[in-house]
Structure 1
Amino acid sequence: MKDSHSGSLLDLPKRTFIRRTQDYESNTLDRMCHFEQMKRMTQGIYKRGFFNSKFSDVTIEALGMKYQLHRIILVQNSFFAGMLDGSWAESDKRTINLTFDDPHITLEGVNAVFARIYGQFEVRLHPKNVFSIMAAASYFNDSDLLDICTTYIIDSITKETVVDSIGFIVASYYGINSDAIIEAIFTFLCREGFADLKEVFAQLPLSWFERIVASDCFCVPSEYERYCFIRDVIELRQKRSDRTKTGHRPLSLADSALDLSSLSLASSDSSETSGSTSASDGSEGESEETTFRDMLSYGVVYSHMRFDQLLQIRGDGFAPAHVLEKAFWTQQEFRCLIEGSAEHITTLGIQYDVDVSKDTSDPSPSEVLIPSGDTDKIDEKQVSGVLEGSIYAHSRVRFPPFRFSLEAADENRIHRGDRVYSKTQFYAGSYWIVYIQKLVAQGSSKLGIYLQRWAQDEEPEIEDPHASASHRVSVYVDRREEVQTWFQLYCFISDQCFILESKPDLFKNTQSWGWRSSKLLKVWTDSAAPGPHTIKISVVMGHV
C-alpha cells in the first residue's frame, strides 16, 4: 500500500508538469505567430497605405507635400481623431491643409510622426533631426515620441550640444517636456559650468548667465574663482559683441530678445530681469552693462577673500571700488565679533534677513532665509526652483554666508570606504572640511556626506593628498567651545541634484554633521555617465 501510494504521488506531478510545459510552449508559439502576423500586417499597411498611398480617402497637405492617407488609420492618433471623427469642418473634407507656427517642424519630423501612425515605431534620432521630430510629435500629440525625443536630448547634453538645446527650448514651449529639458540644462550648467563652459556662458541669454553664476548651486571652488569666472565671461561676451558690430560674428543666443517668463527663470520684478530687454528698444547695451555691474557688485561674496585677492580685483577695474572696501570692512567687523565672543557663547546674533542700511539701489530686496529644519527625506530637487529665488539675496545681510565647492572623483577610494576630503576651508576662526565616505550601517551600504569643524589653533591632519588647505583670509581663532552653524549642501551626483539642509546645529571641535543615505549611494553607483563617477558639492554655511 505504501509503495503504491508513493508511486502515484510521483507520477501525478510529472504528468502535470509535462502538460503545463506543452501548454506553455503552445502558447509561446501562438504568440510568436500572432506577432509575425501583426508585423506583416503593419509592414503591409505602411508600404501599401503610407508609402504607396493605396486606397487613400483623404489628402493631408503640409509643408508643400501632399500625403494620400486613410481616415481609419489617422484616427488612431488623438490629433486626427479630434479633427476627423468630430464636428470640425475638416471631418468631411477630402483635402486638409496643415500649417505650423513652430519653425522647428520640418518634413522629416512630419514623416516620422505619420510613419508611426502607420505602424513604423522605430525612429532614428540624431542631433540634426531630434528637434524637428520633437516639435512634430508635440503638434500631433504623439506623447510617446515626445518623451523619446526628450530623453534623447537630456541624455545628449554636452558642451557641444547645450547651446543648440537652449536655442530650441527657448523658441517654443512643449509643456512638461520642455520643463524636463530646462531642468537638465540648468543642472548641467551649474555642475559643469565653472570647469569648462566659459564659451557656453558667453552665449547664454543674459538672465541665465546672471542667475546661474550668482546662485548657491553653481559649483565653483571659491568666491574669488566665482569673480574670475564672471570677469572672464563678461570679457568674452564683450568681444563677441564687438565682432557683431563689425559684422564678423554669427548670431548667438546672447543676441536674441528672449522671453524667459515661460521658463520659470525670469523674476516678476522688472529690476531683476535686465537681461531680457529687447534689442529693438535701443537700450540693450545699457541694460547689459547694468547687469554686469550688478553681478560684480552683488553676485560675489567678497568679504571672505584674502586682502591680496581684493587688491588684485581692484586692480582689474571690473568690480566697483566701494564694494571691495565695504567687503574688507565687513571682514574686519566679523573678525572682531568672533574674537570678542566669550568661550561659552554659542550664538552671535547674526540675522539673515534684509538689512535696510544696505544700499537701496541693490536690485534684490528679498529676505535671506536659512533652513528652519533638517532634511529628513532625500529626494532629487529641481535646480530651477533654486534659481527662481532672489538673485542677490546674500548681499542684503550684514555678514553674508560662506560658500565653496568640492569635487570627489576618486571612486576607488570611496568604494574602499576611505574618507575623501575637500580642501580645508577657513571660516570665522575655525577650519572646515566636507568629507564623503561609504559606510555600512545595519547591514546596508550608504553614502555619507558630512561637514566637520576643526576649532582653536588646530588644523585638521588629513591623510588625503588631494585635500590641501585652500587660500584663506588672515587666520584668527574662534576660541568658543561650540558654535551654532547652519548649512546647505547642493550635491550633484550623476545627472541629479540633491539639496541637503541643516538648521543651526552646535559644532564642537572635530564634530561632524551630515547625512548617510543608501539612495545617494545607489544613484552614484548606477550612474551611466562615461568616465569617473564624480560627486560635486556646493556648500553654503553661516553662523547665527
Structure 2
Amino acid sequence: MDHHSSQSFAHSPRSSPSGRSVSTSALKTPISTLSRLIAAREGRNVTGDNFTAFSSQHPARSDGLNELFDFLYTRGFLEGACSDITISAFNKKYNLHRLILDRSPFFSSLFSGPWKDSVCETLDLSLNDPNMTIEAFEIALARLYGHYDSEVEEQHARALLAVASYLDMQDLVEASVDRIIQGLSVVNLSTVFHFAMSSNYGSASSRIINSCKNILYCEGWETGISGWCSIPTTVAAEILSGNPFFVPTEWERCMFVIELINWHIIHNDSSAESSTDATPLANENDAVKTSDSNTDYESAMFGIEPLQNVMETGIHYVHFTFEQIQILDRLRDVNLNRVVSEKTLRDAVWASLSLKQKVLGCFPNEASIGLINKGPLPEDKGGFIIPSTDETTVGVASVSALAKQKSEKSSDHEAGGDGDGVGWTSFAPYRFSLEFKNVSKLREDKRVYSDTIWYAGSYWNIYIQKVRQRKSVLQMGVYLHRAKTSGLTSLSTKDPDNDLSMSMNRMYFSDDNSVNELVQESDVTGGVTTNMSVRSNVVDADIPFGASPRAVQTPTKSVSTSQSIAMPEYLDMRPQILTYFKIFTPSKKGKHAITCFSSSPDYFNFSQSWGWKSTTLCAAVDEQHFSGESSSESDVNLKFMIVLGKV
C-alpha cells in the first residue's frame, strides 16, 4: 500500500466570475441535507472531516441507497430535472443542482461567498488546464450525484486529476493519483512523467514524479538507454548518481552515463520536429525559463551538462582498478571530447592509494582506520554522510536522505552547534547491486549467498534467509557478510534440491541453521516504518565463497572491461573492522517505492554478518506462494542496492 500525506493541497486563491477572490483551502466543506440523508441511510455518523472519504468509496450499499443514487444520477444529472443552476463548460450547458454541487468544496465556497456568483442561475467555468477533458469533467460531476464507475475513471485518470484538483475534490484527487501510480510501467513512464512535471497539482504531482523516479532507480538500467531518452537530463543525473540506482557495478554505472551522453549528443542535432515529439510542452509555470525556440527548450531540458557533472562528481572512481582508470583516460565521446577530466581521475588514483595506506597502516587491534570527520561538510570537495543511527525508511526519504542529512547537519553547525553526532568522510562508499530470483522457492532457514566482492582489503557478500518469528510470522532477512580472506574458492554450483538462483549466476547454499542473534528494535525517522523490521547480528561457521575481487561478474550493457583480477591488491587482516552500510530494495509495502535499511558503523569480525529482517520483504513471496503460480516468469525476485564504507 502506498503511503502518502492525507493533508489538503494548498490552493492558490481562485477568482469568481465576478472577479472576487475565493480561497477554497481555508473553508471547511459544509454537510448538505442530502449528505446527511445519505449518511443516515448508510447508518453512519458522517462529519465534515470524513465525509469526502465516505463519498468516494461507496461501500456495500443497501438497495434503497442504490436506488437513491441511481435516481439522482438519472433524473438529476442526465435529465436535469428540477435544476436550479446551469453550468457552462467545454461549450456545453449542464442543468444541475446547488445542493448536489455543494458536495464539492469549490462550489460550496462559491455558493456561500459574498459575491454575485453565489446567487446567479448561470455560471461559466473557465477550465483552461489543457489536461482537463469534457469526459473527465462529466465523470467528476457524476461522482457528485453518486455515480461511480472505476473502469471509466481508470481510463481518464490523468484528466480526472486535473478536474478534481480544480474542483477541490480531494477524494477524487487521491483516487486518480493511486490509479496513475498503479498503472505506471517502463512503457508509459515518459508520458506520465512529463504530465506530472508540466502540471502543478501540489503533492499529487510530487507523488507521481517520485513514483516515476523510483521506477528509473529500480528498472532503468535493465530498460536500457531507450527508456531514458525522454527524461530530462537533470532528473537522469539525479538518479544515475544516486545510491538506490540498480546497476551491478560502479563501472557499469559509469558506462551507462557515457552511453546516455552520446545518445543526447547525437540526437540534439536531430530535427526540431522529431525532438519535439519526445519532449513535453513547456507552460508558464515551468521552472526552466524558455524562449520561443524549441532548440532553446530542448537545450535546457536535455542538455548534456548535468550528465557531464555526474561523470565528474557522481561516480565513485576511488574503487576502480588502475586499468579501468586508464581506459577512462583514453575514452572519448562521439564529439571526441574527454568523458571525464584528468584531475578527477588523478584524484581518484590518489584517494585509492590513500585508502590502501590507511587500511594497511592500522594496528591489528584497531577497528577504525580514522576516516570519520566531524563538523560541516567541505564545500569545495564535498563529503559523504556516515549514518549515526540504525533506521528503516520507505519512500522519498530513503532516496533523498543523504541530501537532506547534508543540508540539516551543515545548517546546525553553522547555527552554532558543536557538531556532536555529525560524521562524514571524504572517501566515497563502495556501491554494487544484485538480484535474487525465484525467491518463493526459498525454504525456511536456508541461506542463499551472492557473489563475493572485494572492497578496501576485505571480502563481502550478501545473503538472504527466510526465518519464522513466533508461530505464524515469517520474515525475510537480508545480511551483509564479511567473508574470510583465506580459503576462498571459485563457486558456480546450484543446490540440486532447489531451483532458487541469482542473476549473478553464482551462489552458495548453507544448511547451517545455528544463528546467534542480538536483536534490537529499529529507529524510525524520515519515513514510514516497515512492519516488525528488526536488525540482527549473525555469526556463522566457515563456508566457502565465490571469489570475484573488486566487483560482481555480470554481462555488461556497454563499453566495459574485465572486473576480475587474479589476486586482490591488498588484504585487510584485522580481526575486527568498523563499517557502515545501507541496503536499498524496491518496497513491497507500496508500488514504486523504495525501502532503505540504514546502519551506523558496526563491528565486523571475520564470518560475521549484520542485517535486517522484515515481514514486508517476505509478504510478496508468501503471496506468490499461496497464489499457486510456480513459473519462473511469475516468480518473485528481490533486488538489493548496497552501499558500504569503512571508517
Q: TM-score range, shorter-chain basis?
A: 0.7 to 0.9
> 1:493, 1:523 within 8 Å by CA — same for their partners in 2?
no
Shift of residue 450 of structure 1?
0.6
Taking the aligned partners of 2:150 and 2:243, their CA distance within structure 1 comes to 40
Query: What SS does the aligned partner of 2:645 have?
Result: strand
Query: What SS does the aligned partner of 2:100 have?
Result: helix
Aligned to 2:308: 293
Equivalent position to 2:460, from 432, 435, 445: 432
Map 1:175-214 → 2, pairs under 5 A: 175-214=202-241
Aligned to 1:346: 367
Q: Which stretch has the larger CA shift, 251-260 or 410-419? A: 251-260
Shift of residue 480 of structure 1?
1.1
Equivalent position to 2:506, from 452, 466, 472: 466
Q: Cα 1:541–1:342, aligned 2, differ >3 Å: closer, same or farther?
A: same
Q: Any idea what the Cα deviations from partners look like across 1:266-319, whole Å, max 9, x if unmatched? A: xxxxxxxxxx56466969749934323211111111121223322332232212
Query: What SS does the aligned partner of 1:99 have?
Result: coil
Taking the aligned partners of 1:258 and 1:159, their CA distance within structure 2 comes to 28
Equivalent position to 2:644, from 533, 541, 544: 541
Shift of residue 154 of structure 1?
0.8
Q: Cα 1:180–1:296, aligned 2, differ >3 Å: closer, same or farther?
A: same
Shift of residue 117 of structure 1?
1.5
Q: Which stretch has the larger CA shift, 196-205 or 504-513? A: 196-205
Aligned to 1:264: none
Query: What SS does the aligned partner of 1:59 have?
Result: strand
Q: Any idea what the Cα deviations from partners look like across 1:490-529, whole Å, max 9, x if unmatched? A: 1224333221111111111111111222343235534899
Q: Cα 1:259–1:143, aligned 2, differ >3 Å: closer, same or farther?
A: closer
Structure-2-length-normalised TM-score:
0.69
Q: Any idea what the Cα deviations from partners look like across 1:41-69, whole Å, max 9, x if unmatched? A: 33233222222223322110112111111
Equivalent position to 2:195, from 168, 184, 192: 168
Shift of residue 138 of structure 1?
1.6
Structure 1: 5+ residue stretches without partners: 1-26, 262-275
Structure 2: 5+ residue stretches without partners: 1-40, 43-59, 333-338, 411-423, 495-504, 508-545, 553-562
CA RMSD of aligned residues (A): 3.4
Q: Which stretch has the larger CA shift, 285-294 or 142-151? A: 285-294
Shift of residue 216 of structure 1?
0.9
Query: What SS does the aligned partner of 1:235 have?
Result: helix
Taking the aligned partners of 2:286 and 2:385, their CA distance within structure 1 comes to 25
Aligned to 2:596: 499
Aligned to 2:93: 66
Taking the aligned partners of 1:126 and 1:201, their CA distance within structure 2 comes to 29
Equivalent position to 1:143, from 164, 170, 173: 170
> 1:58, 1:71 within 8 Å by CA — same for their partners in 2?
yes
Q: Which residue type is aligned with residue 485 of structure 1?
A: T
Equivalent position to 1:447, from 460, 476, 486: 476
Taking the aligned partners of 1:286 and 1:50, their CA distance within structure 2 comes to 47
Aligned to 2:577: 483
Equivalent position to 2:275, from 249, 253, 264: 249
Taking the aligned partners of 2:236 and 2:140, their CA distance within structure 1 comes to 36
Shift of residue 169 of structure 1?
1.0
Query: What SS does the aligned partner of 1:243 have?
Result: coil
Q: Which residue type is aligned with residue 533 of structure 1?
A: V
> 1:257, 1:277 within 8 Å by CA — same for their partners in 2?
no
Aligned to 1:121: 148
Shift of residue 451 of structure 1?
0.4
Q: Cα 1:398–1:94, aligned 2, differ >3 Å: closer, same or farther?
A: closer
Q: Cα 1:62–1:413, aligned 2, differ >3 Å: closer, same or farther?
A: same
Shift of residue 107 of structure 1?
0.4
> 2:585, 2:640 within 8 Å by CA — same for their partners in 1?
yes
Shift of residue 387 of structure 1?
7.3
Aligned to 1:403: 431
Aligned to 1:4: none
Aligned to 1:49: 76
Q: Cα 1:161–1:289, aligned 2, differ >3 Å: closer, same or farther?
A: closer
Equivalent position to 1:321, from 324, 327, 342: 342
Q: Work out the number of aligned pairs and report it.
A: 491
Taking the aligned partners of 1:44 and 1:355, their CA distance within structure 2 comes to 66
Q: Which residue type is aligned with residue 522 of structure 1?
A: A
Taking the aligned partners of 2:233 and 2:176, their CA distance within structure 1 comes to 27
Map 1:77-96 → 2, pairs under 5 A: 77-96=104-123
> 1:113, 1:137 within 8 Å by CA — same for their partners in 2?
yes
Q: Cα 1:379–1:316, aligned 2, differ >3 Å: closer, same or farther?
A: closer
> 2:210, 2:396 within 8 Å by CA — same for their partners in 1?
no
> 1:205, 1:254 within 8 Å by CA — same for their partners in 2?
no
Q: Cα 1:229–1:351, aligned 2, differ >3 Å: closer, same or farther?
A: same
Equivalent position to 1:369, from 385, 391, 411: 385
> 2:153, 2:160 within 8 Å by CA — same for their partners in 1?
no
Q: State the identity %.
A: 25
Q: Which residue type is aligned with residue 108 of structure 2?
A: A
- Structure with larger Rg: 1
Greater per-residue helix proportion: 1
Q: Cα 1:52–1:283, aligned 2, differ >3 Å: closer, same or farther?
A: closer
> 1:206, 1:254 within 8 Å by CA — same for their partners in 2?
no
Shift of residue 158 of structure 1?
0.4
Q: Which stretch has the larger CA shift, 102-111 or 33-42? A: 33-42
Query: What SS does the aligned partner of 1:248 have?
Result: helix
Shift of residue 149 of structure 1?
1.2
The question of 1:309 aligning with 2:403 is answered no
Taking the aligned partners of 1:315 and 1:532, their CA distance within structure 2 comes to 43
> 1:432, 1:454 within 8 Å by CA — same for their partners in 2?
yes
Q: Which has the higher contact order (CA 8 A, sep 6+)?
A: 2
Shift of residue 208 of structure 1?
0.9
Query: What SS does the aligned partner of 2:62 have?
Result: helix
Q: Which stretch has the larger CA shift, 114-123 or 158-167? A: 114-123
Taking the aligned partners of 1:86 and 1:357, their CA distance within structure 2 comes to 55
Taking the aligned partners of 2:370 and 2:91, their CA distance within structure 1 comes to 71
Taking the aligned partners of 1:80 and 1:356, their CA distance within structure 2 comes to 51
Taking the aligned partners of 1:312 and 1:244, their CA distance within structure 2 comes to 34
Shift of residue 378 of structure 1?
6.5
> 2:265, 2:304 within 8 Å by CA — same for their partners in 1?
no
